[in-house]
Amino acid sequence: MKIALSQINTKTADFKRNCATIKDCLSKTNSDVLNVFPELSLSGSPLRDLTFYENLFSEGMNYAEELCEEKRDFIFGLPIKEGEKAYNALAFVKNGELQALSTKRNLTDFDRGFCVGNGLELIEYNGKSIAFGFFEDLEEFAKTSKKADLVICSANTVFEISKQQEILRKVQPIVRKLACPLVVVNRCGAEGRFVFNGGSFVLQANGNISEQLSFFEEEIKVVETENLHNYAQKALSKVEKLHDAAVLGIRDYFNKNGIKKAVIGLSGGIDSALVVVLAVEALGKENVVGVLLPSEYSTSHSVSDAKASAENLQIEHYIIPIKESFNSVLSAVQPVFAGLPFGLAEENMQSRIRLSILMGIANKIGAGLLNTTNKSETAVGYGTLYGDTSGGIGVIGDMYKTEVWELSRWINRNGEIIPENSITKAPSAELRPDQKDTDSLPDYDVLDRILYLHLEQRKSKSEIVSEGFDEQIVEKVLRLVRINEWKRHQVAPSLKVSSMTFGIDRIMPIS
Amino acid sequence: MKIALSQINTKTADFKRNCATIKDCLSKTNSDVLNVFPELSLSGSPLRDLTFYENLFSEGMNYAEELCEEKRDFIFGLPIKEGEKAYNALAFVKNGELQALSTKRNLTDFDRGFCVGNGLELIEYNGKSIAFGFFEDLEEFAKTSKKADLVICSANTVFEISKQQEILRKVQPIVRKLACPLVVVNRCGAEGRFVFNGGSFVLQANGNISEQLSFFEEEIKVVETENLHNYAQKALSKVEKLHDAAVLGIRDYFNKNGIKKAVIGLSGGIDSALVVVLAVEALGKENVVGVLLPSEYSTSHSVSDAKASAENLQIEHYIIPIKESFNSVLSAVQPVFAGLPFGLAEENMQSRIRLSILMGIANKIGAGLLNTTNKSETAVGYGTLYGDTSGGIGVIGDMYKTEVWELSRWINRNGEIIPENSITKAPSAELRPDQKDTDSLPDYDVLDRILYLHLEQRKSKSEIVSEGFDEQIVEKVLRLVRINEWKRHQVAPSLKVSSMTFGIDRIMPIS
């Protein structure tokens, strides 16, 4: 049987666009092929609370009817309503006629508003027994005594750095139990903070991998399920995955929100130097604007490194010193500040003035501001709220500082794109003379390992100390994580790349 | 049987404080009384992802042992672990000995990390059969054939403007079926965005209300369950509830986060004029600092109204014109702005400069910035991100503009506290000459009714139009709600007072 794995990039709630994408896929394959599309391929996903609104379902039905006029064989996803109950559904269509529906049973966080459905459905198709449904319902189906010649699943799996390997490890024994081939079609593309990595695959009845589609891009691939062969699995390295996820995340954020240009503040530090490279890859050099905002505490290398960064990439860039704006705001607050020593208030003020300038420029040219904060900083609150923590989307906010270095070195593997000095120099916020991050934080390699144990592994202080870390440092780091919880409720949303993303996977009380 | 309804104000994860609060309640009642405490009274609540950390449970056990040394009879709540499984539990203690545990079965959004427990438990106590457990599990218990002489529930019910009446309406038939009295002990106090309103109550076997404790404050009340009488229920009006919730919300946010002083930007408009009154009630006039930040587009009445507001309340206040700071930032961005007409970028820039000044002052004096945005503005995106949408906590962000007026008029019921002109004048952002909110928005009474139908009632365009609203206006409002979704991901978190609070009850895709 010929199956087309149609790994498409949909857009949430844009039925018209998604319908056109599906039709385009159908037109690119022969009519003797069963086209399989990802979960919620007609409506896009995540739908979130759109599922509470009536028009989502009526629009879905209208476009489903339009699709069926194609008189083709395909499986596609849409939200449906039966009476008062809403379901996340997959429709099996033959020659434009609805044959069967599978409704999702094992609901996830993305399925708010949907009721628990029936799971995988069995259907006779071209003389074969096919089970089709949602990837999350596969395991439950395998526990029943039902038999099929082929199982087809649609998915909507959110990218996390280690997830694809885990999925394969988990699904291979299930397939061996089912003793039939499995086709899994995942979507690609990004929606807000979520990146969907594609990588749709086919497993043989023995669990061996037979096909794997591209990661992070659209692809249609036709397979003959009676004739599956072993296949050397594509393996992307960790940095390649981080890189591709970030580039796709930026591109789709701007594309799907109808924004063309990005503005980035360039400090000469590694974070902004990395983000601007990723932005140029995602949007093109003609659509990225760099702004250098030196203060009187900026070192000379911070300007020269930032300039080198912009020049290496040949992007439009401006140097806008903030000294006069800072002095002007500082003199405005004299009724309160007079006589008090320079401190954190003045440090933060510089960051907020920079933000006012960056957002002013972004607003003026109709651009989006990219946030350049990393996960280590966000974790310990090392950043100024309404200052450098701001932006439409955070590009590296789910990557630890040590991962930022790793990715930056990889980007420079064939020559300098990111200024070497940005990579090698000691990190500094440069908000007071001779400031270094390590004045108030442990070295990033220690910090990041403690944070990983505390955040990803959810270990408490005593457990982390028992792994050989200094008790006082652990206590300090965990205290910083705790007291900065409130800040993280207002920082820029970041692209999710890890299994523990702030604001998505970790929800903490404010007070 | 004598039951003490111990309606306390706990603090999340502050076992020491909560343990002391519980002991204090025990010391205030005689030893022949069964003291009943709210859900998670020892640990505080919401716990959110703290439930994934080992130390929560070990700390809980340590303090539970300390409590039991009191050798008294009481029911209290704490998170427990049985093997790898965590439960939200209530412990029934007699003379300091644990008699029984009830684990929560009907979990809510606050119970992330907890496993499904067993629901209400039956226990013999002083010759009577008592069912005790969580309020959410009551309905399920009533469906069984189990019988009790008395049912005792602990609760942790979050305040919403119409919830208390709904709860009573729902629970009365359940009690009639159970045919025994019901005691419900709810907590009071606020945690971050959530206000817990108290209002613990006792129902007779016939469903009639017999006791109701205060709303929004701590109280201990001893009842004799064999001797219950009818009771005229306390009824707070809608504005009284909004008022009390906001005052408690501010007070606990500052108290529990260890912040003493609040900074508020005073524009002369109704929103900030209302918030400053509530802040003074919550924190005392000596702890509230008003800052007037007039620009060249500010009308003379905006300064005089804001001054009147500060003077009526006798608070410390400063007048800091932003013209020079604005001009200075504006001249800094000339490399980009030169030759382009004045527009939204310049309007937003004023708001962000104001924010830089307000946060500078707040940082300098160790104060928290109160946000003054209302729900109507947040809904349609009428505000500047990183400008007036900022602040530690939003006080009226879950109140529509028409509710802001309603509450303001009520505050002035015995004389002017809020300047009358702030209430009666046409709302304006004053970011360009002669600007009025109605230049770009419909009248607030129309806007708020459309928003209520769309947000609280989750109606689509056609349903709202069918209720008699102009199609073009509805379309415009719904479009504004939709395209400003991304902004709401970074605005100040607001105290929850409605059933549809942004960021809590309504989660929408960004792109």
Q: Tokens representing B188? A: 């009071």
Q: What is the pLDDT of residue A298?
A: 85
Q: Rounded mean pLDDT of B365-378?
A: 98
Would you place residue B268 in the very low, low, confident or very high pLDDT band (cuts 50, 70, 90)?
very high
3-state class (DSSP) for residue A508: coil
By CA distance, what is B47's nearest residue in A?
A509
Q: Are A274 and A408 in contact (CB under 8 A)?
A: yes
Q: Give me the interface pTM, i.e. the ipTM.
A: 0.95
Query: What crossing angle do the helices spanning A444-455 and A471-483 adopt, rounded to 10°?
Result: 60
Q: Tokens representing A504? A: 């998505």
Q: Are B314 and B323 in contact (CB under 8 A)?
A: no
Across the interface, of A48, A353, A511, the residue whose CB is closest to B329 is A353
**Interchain pair A322, B332: CB under 8 A:** yes
**Interchain pair B507, A112: CB under 8 A:** yes
Across the interface, of A352, A462, A508, the residue whose CB is closest to B359 is A352
Kindly state the percentage of chain B with pLDDT values over 90.
Answer: 92
Instruction: In whole angstroms, give the CA distance from residue A258 to residue B416.
Output: 48
Q: What is the pLDDT of residue A511?
A: 65
- Burial bucket for residue A143 (CB in 10 Å: 0-12, 13-18, 19+): exposed
Q: Are B388 and B348 in contact (CB under 8 A)?
A: no
* pLDDT higher than threshold 70 for residue B511: no
pLDDT lower than 70: segments of chain A: 511
Encode A380-400: b = buried (16+ Cβ within 10 Å), e = exposed: bbbbbbbbbbbbbbbbbbbbb
Q: Which helix (H) or strand (E) holds A407?
A: helix A401-411
* In the block, residue with structure tokens 């979507």: A187
Alpha helices for B333-424 (secondary structure H): 334-337, 344-365, 375-380, 401-411, 420-424
Instruction: In whole angstroms, give the CA distance from residue A120 to residue A153.
Output: 9
Q: What is the pLDDT of residue A117?
A: 98
Neighbours of A296 (CB within 10 A): 12
Closest CA to A98 of A134, A81, A123, A119: A123
Kindly state the percentage of chain B with pLDDT values over 70.
Answer: 100
**Interchain pair B48, A507: CB under 8 A:** yes
Q: Considering only A366-375, B240-249, B289-298, which range has the smallest mean pLDDT?
A: B289-298
pLDDT in tens, B153-175: 999 999 999 998 899 999 999 99
Beta-strand (E) ranges in A430-498?
A: none
Q: Are A193 and A496 in contact (CB under 8 A)?
A: yes
DSSP string, B70-85: T---EEEEEEEEETTE
Q: What is the pLDDT of residue B299?
A: 84
A391 vs chain B: nearest CA distance in angstroms? 9
CA A115 to chain centre: 26
Q: Which residues of A touch B392 (CB under 8 A)?
A: 486
B355 vs chain A: nearest CA distance in angstroms? 8
Helices (runs of H) and strands (runs of E) counted in chain A: 17, 19
Q: Which residues of B touch A460 (CB under 8 A)?
A: 53-55
Q: What is the pLDDT of residue A440?
A: 83
By CA distance, what is A500's nearest residue in B?
B49
- Burial bucket for residue A166 (CB in 10 Å: 0-12, 13-18, 19+): exposed
**Interchain pair A54, B459: CB under 8 A:** yes
Strand partners, B130: B123, B150
Would you place residue B297 in the very low, low, confident or very high pLDDT band (cuts 50, 70, 90)?
confident
**Interchain pair B386, A331: CB under 8 A:** no
CB-based contacts of A137: which residues, under 8 Å, 6+ apart? A102, A104, A105, A106, A119, A120, A153
Domains in chain A with CATH codes? 2-235 (3.60.110.10), 241-488 (3.40.50.620)
